[in-house]
C-alpha cells in the first residue's frame, strides 16, 4: 500500500486570499473608472449650461456679458462669433468644451 503524505496545513486557504485580493483590485478599478466617467459627464453638462447661458447673455451684453456669465458657471469663453442675428459661443470648463448658439431674430 502506497503511503501518502498528508497535506500541509500551511497551504489551506491560500486560494481564497488570492481570489479576495483579485476581486478587491477589480472593485477598486471599476470604482475609479465609474467616478472618472461621472466627473466627465458632470463637466460636460456644466459646460453646455455655461455655453447656453453665455450665448444668451452675449445677445444683450456682448462679449463682456458672455464672459461674465460663463465665469459665474465656472467656465471660460474660448470663442465668440457675432453674426448678424446669431451669436455662437464656445466655452471651456476643465477638459471639456461646449458650443451654443442664440438668436434674437423672430
CATH of domain 13-103: 3.30.1300
pLDDT digits (tens, 9 = 90+) for 57-100: 999 889 999 999 999 999 999 999 988 889 999 999 989 999 99
Percentage of the chain surpassing pLDDT 70?
89
Task: Give the global pTM.
Answer: 0.69
Closest CA to 52 of 100, 103, 87, 97: 100
| Phi, psi of 2, rounded to the nearest 5 degrees | -75, 135
Burial level of 4, CB count in 10 A (0-12/13-18/19+)?
Answer: exposed
pLDDT for 83: 85
Spell out the domain ranges in the chain. 13-103
Amino acid at each position: 500500500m502506497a503511503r501518502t503524505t498528508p497535506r500541509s496545513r500551511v497551504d489551506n486557504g491560500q486560494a481564497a486570499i488570492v481570489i479576495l485580493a483579485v476581486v478587491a483590485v477589480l472593485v477598486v478599478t471599476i470604482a475609479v473608472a465609474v467616478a472618472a466617467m461621472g466627473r466627465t459627464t458632470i463637466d460636460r453638462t456644466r459646460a453646455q449650461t455655461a455655453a447656453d447661458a453665455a450665448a444668451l447673455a452675449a445677445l444683450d451684453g456682448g462679449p463682456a456679458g458672455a464672459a461674465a456669465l460663463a465665469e459665474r458657471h465656472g467656465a471660460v469663453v474660448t470663442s465668440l462669433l457675432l453674426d448678424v442675428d446669431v451669436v455662437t459661443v464656445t466655452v471651456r470648463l476643465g477638459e471639456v468644451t461646449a458650443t451654443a448658439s442664440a438668436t434674437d431674430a423672430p
